């Protein structure tokens, strides 16, 4: 099969007019260490989209969708682009908009990394954060974007989930590049499913130009995009890896007919694999690259690909947007995403593997109800010489924690009075732990999720509070015992 002709600009051969000219033509890099460790004999090749100027394969679709909108007249000079995004599409749109002179408004869920939010704001975009609600909820990030577009003059929503420019960019560009880089012969291609554009565009190109190619789709546990639907019944409802999967709708751009076989990824395998790709292959990839890599290794073994055959994996984005997530050991520990073998290698302190049960816990634990007054909370703290008290419902359910600092802030700013209920000054920045939780995980929780870890004893569906741990408690234990 002859490669499809396409001019590829050698890097550094001329001065580029602007950053937009650098979009596309990303390298295809052979993976060595990890495939060898699995006994894999075929070539495993990574299409490294993180080399693009915006750091992801969304550069391609953003440019395609914007140029299509310009040609159709939907996007006019000085216009505003509004888009719901998990971050990478937003970054790509903002980058191109900066060059072309458009304004941007993006809606994102609170699941997405803070790095993405800060990058978008640094690029001059307005970012509206909303809870992770179902897409048909009026407060979801998609519904919010639709409403904003209707309210904003001279604006357009590109809608990457249904915009034909999304798969078109991968069919006309990414797929052509891969075929050229592989001399027209690809035996398997592995792509994650998010908006559906990449797997649809690449799948269609392979079916049209390299008919023997096996198209593999990757969908995270908790998502329902994979086929047959039976493989989606994993018992998982949510996942940490960003940019792939949906469990409340199927994107218009997802053409499942081009996918020969689906594999389900999970957070632990995905994020541990992403860390391996960084450490063993030197590729600064994001978490979803770990998803497609972990599934690709299984797919290659199932298909029994032999020496001389090629498996291409699309690595969609870079590590840049996840520095405080899977790259951070404490975040991985908090989320229970380090497997036991790796956790053993992460032991940095003598107290790392000790359990919460070794700490001296106060018993019984002082609590308040949500209807208790702020004045009562303050007087109780003063009498008992404590700075925080758990607040629980009559049935034992934890509502939050009331703190002296929180009360003082609200009282000084006159947001509450001493006669109001403590439920108005609660903090919910805490995590539940048990006596079997390691101090390594407690440390991670206190560093990433708030100042408090509530120790609970579980008996079926009920819980009993046994204490609260803070940085001071952990520090006291370390000083006394090590």
Catalytic residues: 58
Contact residues for 152 (Cβ-Cβ < 8 A; gap 6+): 80, 82, 105
Q: Residue 201 in contact with residue 166, Cβ under 8 Å?
A: yes
Q: Is-contact 421 376, C-beta < 8 A?
A: no
Give the pair of three-digit tokens for residue 471.
């940085």
Residue corresponding to tokens 């395998």: 269
Q: How far apart are CA 5 and CA 3, in angstroms?
A: 6
Packed helices 267-281 and 287-303: angle between N→C axes, nearest 10 degrees = 90
Q: Quick count: other Cβ atoms within 10 Å of Cβ 251?
A: 19
């Amino acid at each position: 099969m002859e490669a499809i002709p396409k001019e590829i600009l050698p890097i550094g051969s001329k001065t580029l007019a602007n950053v937009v000219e650098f979009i596309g033509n990303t390298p295809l890099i052979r993976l060595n260490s990890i495939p060898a460790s699995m006994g894999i004999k075929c070539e495993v090749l990574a299409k490294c989209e993180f080399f693009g100027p915006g750091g992801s394969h969304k550069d391609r679709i953003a440019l395609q969708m914007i140029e299509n909108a310009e040609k159709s007249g939907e996007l006019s000079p000085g216009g505003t682009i509004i888009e719901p995004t998990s971050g990478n599409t937003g970054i790509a749109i903002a980058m191109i908009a900066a060059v072309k002179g458009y304004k941007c408004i993006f809606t994102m869920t609170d699941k997405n990394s803070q790095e993405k939010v800060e990058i978008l704001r640094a690029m001059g975009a307005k970012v509206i954060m909303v809870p992770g609600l179902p897409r048909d909820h009026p407060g979801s990030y998609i519904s919010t974007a639709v409403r904003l577009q209707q309210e904003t003059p001279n604006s357009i929503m590109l809608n990457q989930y249904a915009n034909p420019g999304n798969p078109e960019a991968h069919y006309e560009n990414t797929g052509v590049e891969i075929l050229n880089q592989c001399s027209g012969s690809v035996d398997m291609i592995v792509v994650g499913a998010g908006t559906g554009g990449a797997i649809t565009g690449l799948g269609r190109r392979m079916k049209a130009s390299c008919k023997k190619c096996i198209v593999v789709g990757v969908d995270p546990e908790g998502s329902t995009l994979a086929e047959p639907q039976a493989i989606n019944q994993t018992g998982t409802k949510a996942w940490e890896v960003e940019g792939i999967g949906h469990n409340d709708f199927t994107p218009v751009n997802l053409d499942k007919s081009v996918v020969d076989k689906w594999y389900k990824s999970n957070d632990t395998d995905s994020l541990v694999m992403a860390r391996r790709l960084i450490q063993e292959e030197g590729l600064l990839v994001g978490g979803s690259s770990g998803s497609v890599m972990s599934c690709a290794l299984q797919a290659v073994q199932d298909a029994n690909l032999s020496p001389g055959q090629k498996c291409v994996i699309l690595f969609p984005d870079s590590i840049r947007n996840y520095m405080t997530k899977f790259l951070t050991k404490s975040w991985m520990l908090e989320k229970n995403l380090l497997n036991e073998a790796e956790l053993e290698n992460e032991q940095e302190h003598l107290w790392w593997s000790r359990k919460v049960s070794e700490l001296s816990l106060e018993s019984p634990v002082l609590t308040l109800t949500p209807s208790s007054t702020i004045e009562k909370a303050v007087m109780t703290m003063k009498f008992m010489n404590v700075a925080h008290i758990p607040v629980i419902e009559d049935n034992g359910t934890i509502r939050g924690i009331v703190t002296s600092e929180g009360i003082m802030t609200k009282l000084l700013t006159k947001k509450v009075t001493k006669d109001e209920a403590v439920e108005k000054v609660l903090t919910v920045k805490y995590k539940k732990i048990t006596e079997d939780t390691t101090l390594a995980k407690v440390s991670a929780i206190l560093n990433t999720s708030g100042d408090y870890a509530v120790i609970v004893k579980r008996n079926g569906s009920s819980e009993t509070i046994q204490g609260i741990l803070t940085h001071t408690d952990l520090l006291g234990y370390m000083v006394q015992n090590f």
